Amino acid sequence: MNINEKLQIYEGEQMDFSLDIGELTNTISQYEKVIRDLEEQKENINKAIKELTDLGWSGEAKDKFIENHIKKQEFYTNLIEKMKYTKNALENEEKPRAIQLKKRCEDFENCIKRSAGGAALTNDDTGVISLQYGGQFLINNNVSECTDNYYRQMNFKFVEILNLANSLRFTTFPIGGDVESAQNSLKNQTMSLTEFDNSFNAYCNGVRDMEENICSVFSKISGITEGISQIRGMSIISENGQVDKNKVMQLMLKNPADLTTEEKEILEYAKIVLGDDYNRLKEINGEHLEWNDEIMKYIKSTPIYQWFTKETQEGELHMLFDIGGFDRDENGVYHAKQDALQQYGGYNDIYDDIFDLACSMKKKKFDFSTGNQTYIIWLWKGDYLNLGAGAEIGIYYDGGPQWLCDTQDKMPMTISLEDKKGNRVYDWKPKNDNWWCTGFNPKYQNEEASNLTVHGSIDFSKHLDLWNAFYKKYNGWSSWTFDTEHHIAKLKW
């Protein structure tokens, strides 16, 4: 687990935790090296400017350079301070906590082994701490049941056996020592479990403390959570500090609402570094998008496209759509089949990029994890060319970048669509369970995605593990409301 990933630690909830102290140590060293390199470069540039000035450098070119240099120097000074703050937090706050947790893990083994050797020890710069369990409450409850109820019951039975043996006047059974030995063994095991429970609770408190501290640290320095990636590791920054303008343009092409926090920060960085060149890139991108719009307008004006749209509206291409994996209902609305060939292809972001170039579209993704598997609920809405206004809800798994269709976890789903005037484009409540719930009405052409509202639902009642993970992560989000009695997630987007 990356050190800046928020840990999920709540009573009664599944938690998988792992931290490599060696990786944490290396990260601290990398921060130290980059801070040193930045300060050296800053000093070298200032020396070079002074030498040029001493040699008589002056004029408008110098003034413009100095003005730009001051802005960049302010940016890098601020960046260095934030990185120092981060390094200090990792080195002097998080690492000591991680070392304590590692020792606590070793103590777990000592509690369980009850051996003279105990657990194998590692130095403070190495070692992995990890734990997988079904929840603190579950473990506390089981230990309590063993150390309280079961111990008292069994101990009472031992006392009964000893009393019975001692009450036999004419026969001697030499079992007193064996019973006492078993009784002492039970007592020792009970003590071992109690020690483990105390150690385990101390560990959980340590993880919570570590989580709260690191979240507090990184909330103060938004934009630095990826550490070194903001400098040399940043995808648009080369080793010599040059900005890759092609990659900047790729980010500019994305829908601003779909940009991640890191991508927004990268564009802000590029804006500062590139100056006027950044504005020129925006102009080029605008021309590209306008040109793309012109191409689509031309395609939609052609007789073949108009014929294809009319045939789609009238349901005359049923054989073609059947092969493509779509059914047409009595209202003329098309829906994806659950056994469509698309189930074998999965999905990735590249498809969305192509979709976005050809149509007005919006998407939303809601990932969540349970056990060792990652899932994602993927939503789309927009103009689907000849298919008209439409929307989709799909569930996928396997963590990407190529997500696989989760045909094994089909669930009851519904989906409906409204335009900006409140007209119902369609209302689809399929009888069978779905992994991909869709609707496309070809009578509604050239609708803007932003003018469409999707209503939908997913009934998780047959898959409570998925429900627990999804509800836990997205309860309180504006797009979702939850019927906890029936385990149904309801969407409005």
For the chain, 493 residues long, give each residue's pLDDT as a single digit of tens.
333 333 333 333 444 556 677 887 888 888 888 888 888 887 878 887 888 888 888 887 777 778 777 877 787 788 888 888 888 888 888 788 777 777 766 665 555 444 444 445 567 777 666 555 555 555 666 666 665 565 566 666 666 666 666 655 445 555 556 656 666 666 666 666 666 666 666 666 666 666 666 655 554 444 433 333 343 344 555 544 456 666 676 666 666 666 666 677 777 767 766 666 777 766 666 555 555 666 777 777 888 889 989 999 999 988 889 888 899 999 999 999 999 888 888 888 877 777 777 788 888 999 999 888 999 999 999 999 899 999 999 999 987 788 999 999 999 999 999 999 999 999 999 999 999 999 999 999 989 888 999 999 999 999 999 999 999 889 888 889 999 999 999 999 9
Cis omega (within 30 of 0) on the bond before 430? no
- As a whole number of Å, the CA-based R_g of the chain is 32
Q: Is the Cβ–Cβ distance between 151 and 190 less than 8 Å?
A: yes
Residues 6+ apart with CB under 8 A from 189: none
User: Could you give the strand order of the β-sheet that contains 424-428, starting from the edge strand earlier in sequence?
Assistant: 424-428, 413-418, 453-459, 488-492, 480-483
Answer whether 388's CB lies under 8 Å from 420's CB. Answer: no
- Beta strand ranges found along 292-336 (DSSP E): 326-328, 334-336
Structure-derived torsion over alpha carbons of residues 343, 344, 347, 350, reported in degrees to the nearest 10: -130
Token couple for 59: 């004029």
Sign of CA dihedral 45, 46, 47, 51: positive
How far apart CA 395 and CA 435 sit, in angstroms, is 6
Taking a C-beta distance cutoff of 8 angstroms, is the pair 300, 308 a contact? no
Q: CA nearest 128: which of 30, 22, 211?
A: 22
Check the CA dihedral 350-355-358-361 and report its sign: negative
Query: What span, in angstroms and rounded, lies between the C-alpha atoms of 220 and 385?
Result: 45
Question: How far is it, in rounded angstroms, from Cα 481 to Cα 223?
Answer: 31
Question: Regarding beta strands 389-397 and 326-328, do their DSSP bridges make them parallel or antiparallel, or are they unpaired?
Answer: unpaired
Q: How far apart are CA 150 and CA 116, in angstroms?
A: 28
Expressed in angstroms, the distance from the first to the final Cα of the chain is 32
List helix spans (H) across 1-59. Answer: 21-54
